[in-house]
Structure 1
Amino acid sequence: MGKCSGRCTLVAFCCLQLVAALERQIFDFLGYQWAPILANFLHIMAVILGIFGTVQYRSRYLILYAAWLVLWVGWNAFIICFYLEVGQLSQDRDFIMTFNTSLHRSWWMENGPGCLVTPVLNSRLALEDHHVISVTGCLLDYPYIEALSSALQIFLALFGFVFACYVSKVFLEEEDSFDFIGGFDSYGYQSVRKIFHLQLQPLYTSG
Structure 2
Amino acid sequence: MGSCSGRCTLLALCALQLVTILERQVFDFLGYQWAPILANFVHSVVVILGLFGTIQYRPRYVVVYTVWVAIWITWNVFIICFYLEVGGLSQDSQLLTFNLSRHRSWWLEHGPGCLHEEASVAGLGILQGPALVPGAGCILEHGYMEVLHSGLQVLVALLGFICGCYVVSALTEEEDSFDFIAGFDPFPLYHFNEKPSNLLSKQAYL
User: Normalised by the shorter chain, which TM-score bucket?
Assistant: 0.7 to 0.9
Does 1:15 pair with 2:15? Answer: yes
User: Aligned to 2:181, which of 179, 184, 189?
Assistant: 184
Cα deviation for residue 50 of structure 1 reads 0.8
Any conservation in 1 of the 2:80–2:147 contact (CA below 8 Å)? yes
Identity percentage of aligned residues? 56
CA–CA distance in 1 between the matches of 2:54 and 2:162? 13
Any conservation in 1 of the 2:114–2:132 contact (CA below 8 Å)? no
CA–CA distance in 1 between the matches of 2:20 and 2:157? 11
In structure 1, the gaps of 5 or more residues are 125-131, 203-207
Cα deviation for residue 117 of structure 1 reads 3.0
CA–CA distance in 1 between the matches of 2:51 and 2:121? 52
Q: 1:90 to 1:183 in 2, by over 3 A?
A: same
TM alignment of 1:1-207, pairs within 5 A: 1-94=1-94, 96-118=95-117, 120-122=119-121, 133-135=132-134, 136-178=136-178, 182-184=179-181, 186=183, 190=188, 193=191
Instruction: Specify the SS of the correspondent of 2:116.
Output: strand
Please report the TM-score for the alignment, with normalisation by the length of structure 1: 0.82
CA–CA distance in 2 between the matches of 1:118 and 1:83? 25
Cα deviation for residue 118 of structure 1 reads 4.1
Please report the TM-score for the alignment, with normalisation by the length of structure 2: 0.83
CA–CA distance in 1 between the matches of 2:165 and 2:172? 11
CA–CA distance in 2 between the matches of 1:29 and 1:40? 10
CA–CA distance in 1 between the matches of 2:79 and 2:118? 28
Which region of structure 1 is more displaced relative to structure 2, 73-82 or 115-124?
115-124
Q: AA paired with 1:73?
A: I
How many residue pairs get aligned? The number is: 191
Any conservation in 2 of the 1:49–1:65 contact (CA below 8 Å)? yes
Cα deviation for residue 90 of structure 1 reads 0.3
Q: 1:158 to 1:122 in 2, by over 3 A?
A: same
Which residue number in structure 2 is paired with residue 205 of structure 1? none
Cα deviation for residue 185 of structure 1 reads 6.5
In structure 2, the gaps of 5 or more residues are 124-130
Which residue number in structure 1 is paired with residue 127 of structure 2? none
Per-residue deviation, residues 126-151 of structure 1 (Å, max 9, x unmatched): xxxxxx85332111101001001100
Any conservation in 2 of the 1:119–1:134 contact (CA below 8 Å)? no
Aligned CA RMSD, in angstroms, stands at 2.8
Per-residue deviation, residues 10-37 of structure 1 (Å, max 9, x unmatched): 1001111110111000000000000000
CA–CA distance in 1 between the matches of 2:50 and 2:122? 50
